[in-house]
Amino acid sequence: MSETDPLLPKRRESNGYANGSTNHSVNLSESVVDVTGLTRADDVPLKVKESKGRRISLYVLYFTMFLGSVTFSVVISSIYPYLQKITNNTSSTSFLGYIVAIYSLGQLLSSPLFGLWSDYQHAMVPLQTGLMMTVVFNILYCYAVVFSPTVGKIVLLVSRALIGAGAGTVLLLSDIVCVFMYCKGGFNE
C-alpha cells in the first residue's frame, strides 16, 4: 500500500495539536498512530507511562467498574423475592419487568449526560456524583421494605431508576481509562 491509497486516512499537514479537527490520521512516515487528535505527531501516543501512581489509579478505576457489575448481578437475582416481600406476594411479574427495565433506561438516559458534563468539567466530578447517586439510592432500595406495599413498589421503581442513572458513569469510567492510558497527560491534566 502506498501513502496515497484512498482507503487510508489523509496525512496530517502540521505537527500542531489537532483538537477540534476531524482529521484523525495515520502518519506513515513516522509510524505514529493518532487516534485521539489530542497528541502531537512528535509525541509517542499509545505509550503507557509506567509510574506507580498511574498503575494504582488504573487499578482503582478497574475495581470500581468491577464493583458496579457485581452489584448489578447480585441485585438482579434478588429483586423478585424482595418485591414479593414488599408487596406481600401481590405483585405481578409484569411489574418485575418494569423494575428490571427501568435500571437500563436510567443508565441509557444518564450516560450521554454524564459524558457531556465531563466535557465541560473535570471528569472526576460527574464520576463522583454518579457513584454517590448509586450509593444513596441503593440505601433507599434497601429501605423500601419499611413503606406500605403501594408506596414500597413506587420507592423500589424510583430507586432502581436512579441507581441506573448513577450507573451511567460506567461509560465515563471506560473513557477515563482509555484517556488515562493512551494520551499524554491523561485525567484532564
C-alpha cell at 129: 456524583
pLDDT at position 56 is 80
Task: Answer whether residue 25 shows pLDDT above 70.
Answer: no
Q: What is the residue extent of each domain of the chain?
A: 1-47, 52-182
Residue 177: name the closest of 88, 64, 82 by CA. Answer: 64
Range among 38-52, 56-70, 152-166 with highest mean pLDDT value: 152-166
Which one is predicted more confidently, 55 or 116? 116
What is d(CA 119, CA 70) in angstroms, rounded to the nearest whole number?
A: 28
Q: What 3-state DSSP class applies to 29?
A: coil
CA distances from residue 10 to 34, 40, 92, 183 in whole angstroms, order as listed? 12, 16, 58, 21
Residue 110: name the closest of 170, 175, 42, 60 by CA. Answer: 170
Average pLDDT score, the chain? 75
Answer for the pair 153, 98: CB distance below 8 angstroms, yes or no: no
Given pLDDT bands bounded at 50, 70 and 90, which one contains residue 4?
A: low
H-run or E-run covering 57: helix 52-86
pLDDT in tens, 72-120: 888 888 899 999 999 888 888 899 999 999 999 999 999 999 989 988 8
Given pLDDT bands bounded at 50, 70 and 90, which one contains residue 41?
A: very low
pLDDT at position 13 is 47
Burial of 25-52, coded b for 16+ CB within 10 Å and e otherwise, reads bebeeeebebebbbbbbeeebeeeeeee
Residue 94: name the closest of 11, 153, 23 by CA. Answer: 153
Task: Answer whether residue 26 shows pLDDT above 50.
Answer: no
